[in-house]
Structure 1
Amino acid sequence: MAVHRDDRPLWTFQVGSGEALPAGADTRFRIGSVTKTFTAVLLMQLRDEGALDLDDPLDEHLDVPTHGTLTLARLLSHSAGLQREPYGDVWDTLATPEEDSLLADLARAERVLPTGRRFHYSNLAFALLGEVVATKRGTTWAKALTERVLTPLRLTATTLEPPPQAAVGYLVDEYSDHARPEPNMDCRALSPAAQLWSTAADMAKWAAFLADPAAVDPEHAVLAADTVDEMRYPRTVTDEARWGAAFGLGLLAIPQKAHRVVHVGHDGAMPGFLAAVYGRRPGDGAPGAFGAAALGSSGTGADVLQLPHTLLTLAAEHDPVEIEPWTPGEPAPHDLRSILGRWWGEGFEYVFFWRDGKLRSRGVADDPARPPATFVPVEGRRDMLRTESGREAGELLRLTRDAVGTVVRMHWATYRFTRRQETFDTVPASEPDPS
């Protein structure tokens, strides 16, 4: 296990022994499907460079015999409806396909659900995305991963092949304490979905990057923080009955019991191994660059999957980030000061305020845990702001001033906002009804 945070030394803990190798901080474990988060980042790098669009169909970037109309975004979010594994009995034979046969046999793979209908996990989808990465980069997926993610973030213990200090994965007998070694499987064409080995320390750092990329990668050498935000945004729930987790673009988002706390990352499973790698965004006692990982060498030791969530919760509760003393802020810009205070829109009351260099707004009746809306000026358009986040994200806020320059009316997403409560035909709510 490991916990990474920017205000404390790295914490690691190991327990266990083996005939060949006792557990240590540098013991390497298979991380299984946590590999998918790396493939997702590689694809988003290409998107940010303009080499592709997430709404592109697969066959725009890869020569495939079928399923070419599936979009990259659908494949990333496990909502394409593609079957879980490549054609054949991969987990029965442990014989994974090479890249050419993966594509040649794609016509024999089913679309088991209508595209966009619901979440359906697919290793095949991520194998295809890895092929897209390799094709667009003109190299292998493995080389692209090393050059564009592992090296910039100094994840030196994360490798494709097991090193000498690799742990042995076991299946523990349900009815005794006997541990039987599992076979070591080479994923080959499925590598972008499940191949990697790593340490808990490397994975805690990776979790911290997924939760707080600006702190771990301040130079944006791997990916812009806004892009990682986009990856975290839920696209589909994983279980329509419980709504216990959601998938974004290659990332799992799992709400916790505390207000506004979501852990982002991924789980992994391979024969003899389980992994869980999650981070928490800063705030509410959580520090920056906050990530945790738990890696285990038992394929059925399911408690491993909950450990990162427990570690993040306990660390935030019992060793919270140091409280920064309040300091006076700068006043709002002169041309925005007449906005500050209470306004009414659609019959509801809102407060507009200036904090941390931005205009913000929240409903008076909003849950205090709900983040406010934030606004940024629209370049070249006076008295026009864009909603950057929160309620009505993306919509315009248009200001109307009187002869002396005071803002007397606003339109947010075209809805009128006034200093007093009015009907939609501009009559003050306090006026008596003439009827």
Structure 2
Amino acid sequence: MITVHDRLGRMVRQSQAQGRIPAVSVALHRADRPLWTCAVGGTGNDSPLGPDTVFRIGSVTKTFTSVLVMQCRDDGLLDLDDPIGRHLDLPAHGELTVRRLLSHTAGLQREPHGDVWDTLRAPDAAGLIADLARVERVLPTGRRYHYSNLGMALLGELVARLRGGTWAEVLAERVLAPLGLTATGPAPGDRAATGFLVDAYSDEARPEPPTDFGGVAPAAQLWSTAPDMARWAAFLADPAALDPAGAVLAPATLDEMRWPLTTTDESLWAAGFGLGLILVPQPGRVVHVGHDGAMPGFLAAVYGRRGGDGTAGAMGCAVLGSSGTGVAVFDLPHRLLAAAAEYDPADVEPWRPGPPAPEHLRGMLGRWWGEGFEYVFSWHDGTLRARGADDPAGRPPAVFAPLPERPDVFRTVAGREVGELLRLTRDERGAVVRMHWATYRFTRRQETFEGYDFRTGS
């Protein structure tokens, strides 16, 4: 019998062999199963390859810096629409907002001033800021997505200044320790794989030189293991499962970070960018959220899975490779997550009867008509909900929360018309005879607008 782990392991081995990657380390995290790991190849040095082998994760680092920025926002230290110059003394580009820098829509050039990738010598934080006057705005702000390591480096310095420490110190105290990411940090340690460039026309693998990115560290410096990164991916997808007290970040803030602010390619909407996070849509109303990383000798892909049938809670996958050209790394976590959900889906929880809807709402449940379309209002899991009668099964319902001071008014907190009000109108006997949702009239039977009295609202 072929198990799901047999399938996943074969996918990893195929990717390692076909991608010619000296070492691949993979971990799959989910709330309902033990951690699964797989390592194929060798480290290229005297240390054995295993789940505790450390790889450079490159730009996956940006997700950590982005969480630190959002912590500052939640603590009232900044607003996302603040110009960064309000908090940092900059010689140029201080008018760029935190939100634009997080979403790579500020138009700032990709790298710090100079030929960093020729010299592999990055400026320190002070030098990076001093050279800003020599840096270009290559696109108008807000025009389109343009990836910038420089922009994320500035955000890391912003966090350090606001918190009164170095970026690495703040990261260790406020994210790594609370989430138990003990194998993650800015230095490789003694369990690191060697990074290679694999020759295109032979089987030679040449070691890449070690690099320290100085002031650009908040964009690309971190090293980690596959188990740590799978846990991090699970946090990005389902923070309430790994951080129920919200000690690192409130789930609502992660929701905000995961909202797509731009597409990365206007002609092929295959990926979007939120606040520091890459969003990759999948079939069946599923989205993978995380980031890729690339540094000399290393590639990484770290993604959590949200939505869809079979998706378990806290589901995250990390693929770390020791070749700068082993691009199979980038596709593998998406395939592994999909295979895990298909061949080992989350258990189906049995339905159990619950308490009835509150007395004052029972008469309003059922079918209503608005704008000529039929909707079904219901009470499930302690909340008032609404769905279009013809909605596909996978589409989430609208969810309403009561306003305590106004018993017949609700706020839409999820789904269609989120943020808008639902108002109930009752007759002299107290029965709900009409509703207004986002100001649109809802009635028990299908009506035109013709008989509506706009002066009285009836």
TM-score, normalising length from structure 2? Answer: 0.92
> Could you tell me how far apart the structure 2 residues matched to 1:107 and 1:343 are?
60
> Could you tell me how far apart the structure 1 residues matched to 2:27 and 2:90 are?
41
> Could you tell me how far apart the structure 2 residues matched to 1:39 and 1:68 are?
19
Tell me what 1:82 maps to.
Answer: 108
- 2:158 is matched with which residue: 109, 112, 132? 132
2:380 counterpart of 1:355:
yes
Q: CA deviation at 1:44?
A: 0.5
Give secondary structure in 2 for the equivalent of 1:15: strand
Give 1:76's aligned amino acid. L
2:386 counterpart of 1:381:
no
Whether the aligned pair in 1 keeps the contact of 2:301 and 2:333 (CA below 8 Å) is yes
2:44 counterpart of 1:12:
no
2:257 counterpart of 1:231:
yes
- 1:182 is matched with which residue: 158, 183, 208? 208
Tell me what 2:4 maps to.
Answer: none
Q: Deviations over 1:11-55 (max 9, x none)?
A: 111011124333111110000000000000001001111111101
- 1:396 is matched with which residue: 421, 433, 437? 421
- The residue correspondences of 1:415-434 to structure 2 (distance < 5 A) are 415-426=440-451
Q: CA deviation at 1:417?
A: 0.8
2:338 counterpart of 1:304:
no
> Could you tell me how far apart the structure 1 residues matched to 2:356 and 2:309 are?
25
Give secondary structure in 2 for the equivalent of 1:151: helix
2:373 counterpart of 1:334:
no
Q: CA deviation at 1:421?
A: 1.2
> Could you tell me how far apart the structure 1 residues matched to 2:223 and 2:143 are?
33
2:283 counterpart of 1:251:
no
Q: CA deviation at 1:379?
A: 2.5
In structure 2, list runs of 5 or more residues that go unmatched: 1-25, 454-458
2:236 counterpart of 1:201:
no
Tell me what 2:131 maps to.
Answer: 105
Q: Deviations over 1:184-215 (max 9, x none)?
A: 11011000000000000000000000000000
Q: CA deviation at 1:382?
A: 2.3
Q: CA deviation at 1:282?
A: 5.5
Q: CA deviation at 1:284?
A: 1.5
> Could you tell me how far apart the structure 2 residues matched to 1:9 and 1:313 are?
18
Q: Deviations over 1:78-134 (max 9, x none)?
A: 111111001111111111001111111011111111111111100001000001100
In structure 1, list runs of 5 or more residues that go unmatched: 429-435
Give 1:313's aligned amino acid. A
Q: How many residues align?
A: 427
2:67 counterpart of 1:67:
no
Q: CA deviation at 1:158?
A: 0.2
Q: CA deviation at 1:426?
A: 3.0
> Could you tell me how far apart the structure 2 residues matched to 1:311 and 1:19 are?
28
> Could you tell me how far apart the structure 2 residues matched to 1:321 and 1:382 are?
38
- RMSD over equivalenced CA pairs, Å: 1.2
2:304 counterpart of 1:275:
no
Whether the aligned pair in 2 keeps the contact of 1:282 and 1:288 (CA below 8 Å) is no
Whether the aligned pair in 1 keeps the contact of 2:286 and 2:308 (CA below 8 Å) is no
Tell me what 1:163 maps to.
Answer: 189
Give secondary structure in 2 for the equivalent of 1:284: coil
Give 1:397's aligned amino acid. L
Whether the aligned pair in 1 keeps the contact of 2:367 and 2:374 (CA below 8 Å) is yes
Whether the aligned pair in 2 keeps the contact of 1:282 and 1:289 (CA below 8 Å) is no
2:395 counterpart of 1:370:
yes
TM-score, normalising length from structure 1? Answer: 0.96
Give 2:182's aligned amino acid. T
> Could you tell me how far apart the structure 2 residues matched to 1:175 and 1:8 are?
42
Instruction: Tell me the percent identity.
Output: 69
> Could you tell me how far apart the structure 1 residues matched to 2:48 and 2:202 are?
22
Give 2:445's aligned amino acid. R
> Could you tell me how far apart the structure 1 residues matched to 2:294 and 2:62 are?
12
> Could you tell me how far apart the structure 1 residues matched to 2:264 and 2:289 are?
14
Whether the aligned pair in 2 keeps the contact of 1:16 and 1:22 (CA below 8 Å) is no
> Could you tell me how far apart the structure 2 residues matched to 1:19 and 1:398 are?
68
Q: CA deviation at 1:347?
A: 1.4
2:304 counterpart of 1:289:
no
> Could you tell me how far apart the structure 2 residues matched to 1:70 and 1:421 are?
50
> Could you tell me how far apart the structure 2 residues matched to 1:330 and 1:68 are?
55
1:244/1:283 Cα in 2 relative to 1: closer, same or farther (>3 Å)?
A: closer
Q: CA deviation at 1:427?
A: 6.1
Q: Deviations over 1:370-425 (max 9, x none)?
A: 21111000131221100001111100001111111111111111111111111123
Give 2:117's aligned amino acid. W
> Could you tell me how far apart the structure 2 residues matched to 1:243 and 1:402 are?
49
> Could you tell me how far apart the structure 2 residues matched to 1:238 and 1:329 are?
44
Tell me what 2:120 maps to.
Answer: 94
Give secondary structure in 2 for the equivalent of 1:162: coil
Tell me what 2:54 maps to.
Answer: 28
